[in-house]
Amino acid sequence: MLVWFTLTFSVIYFARELSGMSLFGWPLSFYMVAQGLALAYLLIVAVYTWQMRKIDKRYPGAGQQ
pLDDT digits (tens, 9 = 90+) for 16-50: 887 788 877 878 777 777 787 888 899 999 999 99
Q: Provide φ and ψ at 14, rounded to 5°.
A: -100, 25
**Contact by Cβ (8 Å): 3, 45:** no
The verdict on pTM exceeding 0.75 is no
pLDDT of amino acid 25: 82
pLDDT of amino acid 44: 94
Q: Provide φ and ψ at 59, rounded to 5°.
A: -125, 75
